[in-house]
Amino acid sequence: MNIAQFLEWFQTTDHYRNVLSIRRFPSRPARFGQWPSGLDERIVSALSRRGIDRPYTHQADAIERILRGENCVIVTPTASGKTLCYNLPVLNAILGNADTRALYLFPTKALAQDQLAELQGLVDRLTFGVKTYTYDGDTPANARRAVRQAGHIVITNPDMLHTGILPNHTQWHRLFANLRFVVIDEMHIYRGVFGSHVANVVRRLKRICHHYGSSPQFVLASASIANPESLARQLIGDDVSVVTDSGAPVGEKHVIFYNPPVVNRALGIRAGSVATARRLAVQTIANRIHTIVFARSRLSVEVLLRYLRQEAAQAHLPEEAIQGYRGGYLPNERRAIERGLRDGRVLAVVSTNALELGIDIGSLDACIIVGYPGTIASTWQQIGRVGRRDTPSLAVLIASSTPLDQFVITHPDYLFEASVESGLMNPDNLLILASHVKCAAFELPFRDGEEFGALPIQTLLQHLAEQRILFHSGDSWFWTAESFPAQEVSLRTAASENVVIVDQTDPNSVRVIGEMDRPSAATMLHDEAIYLHGGRQYEVLRLDWKEKKAYVRQVDVDYFTDANLAVRVAVLDQFARETSRAWGEVSVTFLATIFKKIKLETHENVGWGKIRLPEDTFHTTAYWLTLPDRPSGWNSGEIERGLDGVAHVLANVAPLFLMCSPGDLGVFAETRSPFTGQPTIFLYDAIPGGVGFAEKLYASHDLLIRSAEDVITNCPCDDGCPSCTGAPTGEGESAKVVALEMIRAVRAATR
């Protein structure tokens, strides 16, 4: 059965009653250009031998710009051939001068390995020897010297550049002295905390290049981002030209919005998205349609994989035809799965967003997305993983019961008509900046008056000297501490004080299995907590808050734990205010209080305990919203429930405008704020120092409020539910009624 036949069948089934929207995107033929005149003929001949006689128009445009020496960012859809846009100018430069070096940065090791294979396939066709290597944690020690000395193209990731290459730059002098190109692929990944860190890593890279006398050209690529020029400029600290008009061919694509049926109208509970995905995937697999299923968590991947393998066995398919793919799999396992997808031996794969990036997995026909991925950009990335250039493909987005999913599934134009989100970052976040100034000082002394990025850092250097981390002599600031600063800085979080998780299941093989930020650790790694990792359960034996270590052991119990975190927000400074909205700097104090033991399957409360940890505080930025004081004569309990309902829906809708996950935002509601004197809801950056979310929410206030009103109004429940204002309480006037009137009063006040 092909996709067209599957769609005909689908419209005759019960599934079709739950479809809210179907959009068809027609196929589009390729548009071709000519190879730029500056491209070496040996490269053109090698491409011809691979069946590539002409470039797409965007490839010709990008290559021409790069050959002219411009920093360039290429933003075209998945599978449009962006790799050639930077590989060809790099190889062209190496063929012209054998000393030329290039550094490729990919966000994951898997993607780096995939791109190495792609590049090597082209290099093998050239008569001139070009040496390409990956350099990451999997690179054998005996191969690292060869990479440092002989690698024309070094492929790595930001984390390895940060901890393994820049601090040891004296061993990489040949690379830095001859560095001509820096390629940064999957640019849309570099946003928020991660992007802010990587922008500082690039600052350190450019500083070291200047020391060795080089000034590399930057080439960036992304499949989807609304602000490619501004994000790229923040990332590399320089001007860029932008190529966005793709000439690549596109096959016909059908996108279905599927909302599982309501099974309990009073509580607003729908059929599970995982169970629904299972039913659909069983049909695509039974009809031999090559399928990828995107799940939101590692646990969901493993559960779906087990279900689908059971179904596959009944259809007389071998077990290896259905595969899972997620973090935690060994590199050789992932490579084998990728090869199986390319050669067709793997009929279906269940994956986290690990396969969302541009890893070559061949041509799949159907994509099932279990729950909204969190951003428009990620959604289109996942949809873009299916479809050949000349045959139709199918993507199905299955909503969960969360307000975020319900908003998207009932507003299809949000995905189909709106542009993808802008990537936000703040490289000058003080905590992040200070961490990288220390790393940079370890690498090379700072000079008086030297800038790091766009900011003077004299005050920061003086502060570090007072802490005896730096020493000022003459006109320079020298590193004096004994520690190795890069090892203490994770690029994935703003705080350096993460809690390390130590597995003590086997006393003879104690190992670190992960880390967690301190606010999350207070509720997930307290004593007696059940911590889930890789689908396994671990009991927390002891949380050493002072030493930032949690000691765990693997267990098999029939419950999980859920902790209560008491949060308090205090305004420190108000940057801007207009009628019912404002934004500024706040302090966030959090204290884990109690935990409950929740029985699996039934979700019964089977016990509880106290959490004995000190309260903790960090400073960040927040957007806050003031609401009418005691509208319609409601009592204080009804106002509190309505306020909590508005906070619930805002916290779930806000990530739509920020290109972030819900966990990147915190929410706090007060029936009478000491600062405003009114009922107030704070949405704050859950990142010390903030990365710009609060300011963006302040600017998007009107759209945010309208979206929240739509979610509550369109929800079919009676008294509030998890899809809008939270679970109903059954006390007095419903939270849904109060919350809706509060939202409308805010809208009226801002008109």
CATH number at 41-243: 3.40.50.300
Q: Print burial letters for 103-120: b (CB count within 10 Å at least 16), e (below 16).
A: bbbbbbbbbbbbbbeebe
Comparison of pLDDT for 385 and 161, the residue scoring more: 161
- The DSSP code for 31 is -
Which pLDDT belongs to residue 728? 63
pLDDT in tens, 572-584: 999 999 988 999 9
Distance CA 106, CA 113 (A): 9
> Confidence band (pLDDT; 50, 70, 90) for 389?
low
3-state helix, strand and coil shares in percent for the chain, rounded to the nearest 5: 40, 25, 35
> Confidence band (pLDDT; 50, 70, 90) for 95?
very high
Number of Cβ within a 10 Å radius of residue 633? 6
- Specify the range with the lowest mean pLDDT, choosing from 228-237, 278-287, 331-340, 445-454: 331-340
Q: Which amino acid is at 619?
A: H
Counts of helices then strands in the chain (DSSP H, E)? 23, 32
> Confidence band (pLDDT; 50, 70, 90) for 602?
low
Phi then psi for residue 377, to 5 deg, are -60, -45
Q: Flag whether pLDDT at 618 surpasses 90.
A: no
Q: What is the mean pLDDT of residues 461-489?
A: 88
N-terminal to C-terminal alpha carbon distance within the chain: 54
> Confidence band (pLDDT; 50, 70, 90) for 229?
very high
Which pLDDT belongs to residue 630? 58
Which of 524, 731, 522 minimizes the C-alpha distance to 642? 731
Q: What is the mean pLDDT of residues 702-731?
A: 78
Q: Across 267-271, 331-335, 571-575, 709-713, which has the greatest mean pLDDT?
A: 571-575
Compute the radius of gyration of the chain from its Cα atoms: 27
Q: Flag whether pLDDT at 383 surpasses 50.
A: yes
Q: Are strands 476-479 and 446-447 parallel, antiparallel or unpaired?
A: antiparallel
Which pLDDT belongs to residue 126? 75
> Confidence band (pLDDT; 50, 70, 90) for 534?
very low
Q: Flag whether pLDDT at 637 surpasses 90.
A: no
Which residues sit opposite 293 in a β-bridge?
A: 350, 368
Q: Computed from CA positions of residues 618, 619, 620, 622, in that sequence, does the dihedral angle turn out positive or negative? A: positive
Q: Are strands 549-555 and 179-184 parallel, antiparallel or unpaired?
A: unpaired
Which pLDDT belongs to residue 266? 60
- The DSSP code for 632 is G
Comparison of pLDDT for 709 and 329, the residue scoring more: 709
Comparison of pLDDT for 634 and 121, the residue scoring more: 121
Q: Which fold has domain 3-26+250-416?
A: Rossmann fold (3.40.50)
Q: What is the largest CA-CA distance in the chain?
A: 83
pLDDT in tens, 207-219: 999 999 999 999 9
Which pLDDT belongs to residue 86? 95
Phi then psi for residue 452, to 5 deg, are -130, 100
Which residues sit opposite 516 in a β-bridge?
A: 499
**Average pLDDT along the chain:** 86
Question: What Å distances lie between residue 59 and 244, 380, 391, CA to CA?
Answer: 10, 21, 23
Q: Flag whether pLDDT at 436 surpasses 80.
A: yes
Distance CA 550, CA 518 (A): 11
What are 539's two structure tokens?
A: 């009991």
What is the percentage of the chain residues whose pLDDT exceeds 70? 92
Q: Which helix (H) or strand (E) holds 703?
A: helix 701-714
Contact 404, 650 (CB under 8 A): no
Distance CA 353, CA 637 (A): 42
Which pLDDT belongs to residue 629? 64
pLDDT in tens, 270-313: 888 988 999 999 999 988 999 999 998 777 888 888 889 888 88
Q: Flag whether pLDDT at 456 surpasses 60.
A: yes
Contact 623, 690 (CB under 8 A): no
Which residues sit opposite 585 in a β-bridge?
A: 573, 621
Which of 478, 493, 485, 375 minimizes the C-alpha distance to 429? 493
> Confidence band (pLDDT; 50, 70, 90) for 200?
very high
Q: What is the mean pLDDT of residues 631-650?
A: 81
